Each structure stands twice: as structure tokens, then as C-alpha cells.
Amino acid sequence: MTSPVVAAVRTRRVRVPLHTPFVTALRRTDFAETVVVTVEDSDGCVGWGEAPQVWKVTGDSLAGSAAALEGPISDALVGAAADLSSAGLVQAAVVGNRSAKMAADIALHDLVARRSGVSMAEHLDVLLVEPPEPLGGGVSKPTQLRTDMTLSIGTPADLAEAAAARAHEGFTTLKIKVGTDPAGDAERVLAVREAAPGCVLRLDANTGWRADEAVAVLTTLADKDVELEFVEQPVARRDLEGMAYVRRHQPYKILADESVFDLEDLVDVIRAGAADAVNIKLAKCGGITPAIELLEVARSHGLGRLVGCMMESHLGIGAAAALVAALGIPGEQDLDAGWWAKSSPYAGGIGYDGPCILFPDAPGLGIEGVLA
């Protein structure tokens, strides 16, 4: 019997309105904009992926991702084996364009999972040579995963109101966006602590502080006995010396995000002693395949691991959540992007119930079509 090959790579732009503006030190947006890709094999089976537009972090645009997917990535895949032996072709097809690579890589994984009749998490669990634990602690198919909730940049009063509302909805871990106003950031964090006293707090400066500003803000918070799980990307992406300085001169754990796109970046962070943990995102590294390598290298070097997301749709979140489930990464992840959408743009796929991401009872990612 002839093995199936990739027959077609197709793209479609999708714009997902948000119910609340998303604001960080790097940008403000009212939409999640993405390129949805389908990879169809010669038997008619289809896998789904997405390439979110992230101008301010990865530099990827809708036009650029569509061009990469319709051009060199399609050229590399069409006629190639419709399985994971072709994942390397995606990464080698074009320099950069990690969102486009993410889309094609996820689609290949989804295609293989669908052909096997298993969920994405089950498919990934089989791929892992030595997973820390059996999938879901012995459960063959996970049903849900918990995420934190991001609090957009705002005034102390705005943040307090949002924190109280999210805590009421069942979120137990809040990530506070800071970094635009070092003089007022401590006040913002204190307002959130008062409004949601039972919640675990995380900070994310999105490269917004200088090293001295970060140390000043964090020392102030420590002096006021504020408990923080970690502080994410306090300084500029390439300022590993500054991040290491921050790590040494205040008591909180430092999480690297924008500083880690690929394996070379991760090695640089480890050598510099710049972080205690790392946030791996599929759009930064180029998909599930490279993310597995990054997460395993981080684990082997004693770094904490978090799987996060850009402002992307339920499709990309579903892939990232399945990866977390397969690897057995503990703790609440950073996968709240789909919560901000007014509704899912897909038939099928994951859903949200407060802080819980609900896995579909379907093969692969469970996406059956685009609704709008």
C-alpha cells in the first residue's frame, strides 16, 4: 500500500475580535489576527495549524506568514511524506518566519494524530521517548488543563477591578503586566494583591524595565512582603547580563520569555545564569517539534518550564495545551489567549470554562472548520 503524501497546503486569514483590549508594555490590540493553514494528504485527510501575527515580538505578519506558507513551505511539503519525517522540511524551508513554521508543524502533527484516530495529547505522548510520567498520571486522554489569567496594563484601580473579577470567576493565578511605568508598578501590584488576596501572582515586564529599574521595583515589593511566583522578562531580550544582574540582586525567580526563541538563545541564557525558568511559545520557536527539544533541554539543566502563547486563537492554544499534557509539565500554564476572544472562530477544538481549558473528545486538535 502506498503511503500518503502531502497533496496541498492552503491558507486563510482569520481575525478574531477580543471582548477586552489586550495591553502590554509592547503593544495594545483589540483583535487576534492569524493565518490558518490546512495540510491535506493524498487520502483527503486534513491537519490544521495557525500562524499568529506578532509584529512586536517575533516580527511575523499575516502577509509574511501567508507568503512563506504558500511559497517555500508549500514547495517543500507538497509531494513529501504526510508524516513527521517531513517536519524537518518545514524548518529548513525558510529562514525566520517562525509563526509560519509553527502553523505547518502543528498541521503535520494534527494530520498524523487524525490519521491515527487519537487526540493530539495522546499522539504527542507516543512521540516522547522518556516522558516524566504517563500521560495525565495514567489517564489515557486528558480532559482539561488550567491556565493563569493575564491582567493588562492599566491603573491600580483598573487592575484591582480586573483581579477581583477574575478571582471571582475561579482563576487562582494572575499574571500582572508591568513595565511601562516603573515608578507606579509597585503600586499596581499591591492593588492586585489587595483585590485578590488568595491568588498566586506573576509579573511580566515584557522587556520594559532597565536592570536598575527592575531591581528597584522588585526590592520595594519584597520589602512589603509581596509573594511572587516569578518575574517574567524584566529587561531587553539581548540584555542577558542585565537579566543576570536582576536575578542576583532581588529575591524573586526570573523567567526568560523574549530572550528565548531557539536552542541557541536557550544555551546563552543558561550560560549567563540569567534565568530560573523559561517560557516556551510555539510562535517563537516554530512549532511543536522544536518546542519539545527546548523544553527537554531546559528540564535537563534544571530550569523551570512554562508553556505560553501569543495573542492567538483556540487552534494554537489547543496544540500548546496538548504538549503540556503529554510532557506532564506541572503547574498552571500561560495559555489564556483564547479566553480573550468574543468566541471561538472554529467548529470544534478546545473551549474555556473559567481557568480550565477543555480538550475536545476528537482526534487531533478536533478542529472541523472555520466559522467565519
Instruction: Give first-to-last CA distance, the chain, whole Å.
Output: 38
pLDDT in tens, 103-154: 999 999 999 999 999 999 999 998 875 444 444 444 457 899 999 999 998 8
At residue 65, does pLDDT exceed 90? yes
Q: Is 281 among the catalytic positions?
A: yes
Q: Report the alpha-carbon distance of residue 298 to residue 260 in Å, rounded.
A: 11
Better-scored residue on pLDDT, 22 or 46: 46
Which pLDDT belongs to residue 372?
A: 65
Q: How confident is the model at residue 241 (pLDDT cuts 50, 70, 90)?
A: very high
Which of the residues 101, 175, 281, 284 is marked catalytic?
Answer: 281
Distance of CA 9 to the CA centre of its chain: 24
Is this structure's pTM higher than 0.75?
A: yes
* pLDDT, mean of residues 59-63: 94
Which pLDDT belongs to residue 138?
A: 45
- φ, ψ for residue 22 (rounded to 5)? -105, 120
Which pLDDT belongs to residue 127?
A: 80
Cell readout for 240 is 542577558
Q: Nearest 5 degrees, angle CA 54-CA 257-CA 261?
A: 65
Average pLDDT, the chain: 94
Q: Is 101 among the catalytic positions?
A: no
Can you tell me which residue has the cell 495522546?
A: 122
CB atoms within 10 A of CB 216: 18
pLDDT in tens, 149-206: 999 988 999 999 999 999 999 999 999 999 999 999 999 999 999 999 999 999 999 9
Q: Report the alpha-carbon distance of residue 178 to residue 197 in Å, rounded.
A: 19
pLDDT in tens, 84-103: 999 999 999 999 999 999 99
Can you tell me which residue has the cell 488568595?
A: 198
* pLDDT, mean of residues 231-241: 98
Cell readout for 368 is 472541523
Which pLDDT belongs to residue 137?
A: 45
Helix (H) or strand (E) segment spanning residue 19: strand 6-23
pLDDT in tens, 321-366: 999 999 999 999 999 999 999 999 999 999 999 999 999 999 999 9
Domain ranges of the chain: 6-117, 126-370
Name, in order, each residue with C-beta under 8 angstroms of 353's C-beta and a sequence gap of 6 or more. Answer: 144
Q: Report the alpha-carbon distance of residue 13 to residue 274 in Å, rounded.
A: 38
Q: How confident is the model at residue 25 (pLDDT cuts 50, 70, 90)?
A: low
Q: Which CA distances in Å does 172 have to 100, 247, 328?
A: 33, 25, 20
* Torsion angle (degrees, nearest 10) of CA 154, 160, 162, 166: 140
At residue 301, does pLDDT exceed 70? yes
Q: How confident is the model at residue 1 (pLDDT cuts 50, 70, 90)?
A: low
At residue 231, does pLDDT exceed 90? yes
Domain 126-370 has CATH 3.20.20.120: yes
Which of the residues 101, 175, 177, 284 is marked catalytic?
Answer: 177
Domain 6-117 has CATH 3.40.50.300: no
Which pLDDT belongs to residue 185?
A: 96
Which pLDDT belongs to residue 199?
A: 98
Please write down the long-range contacts of 44-47, taking CB distance under 8 Å and 24 or more positions apart: 45/4, 45/82, 45/111, 45/114, 45/115, 46/111, 46/114, 47/106, 47/107, 47/108, 47/109, 47/110, 47/111, 47/112, 47/113, 47/114, 47/364
At residue 258, does pLDDT exceed 70? yes
Q: Which CA distances in Å does 16 have to 165, 244, 278, 305, 341?
A: 23, 38, 28, 29, 6
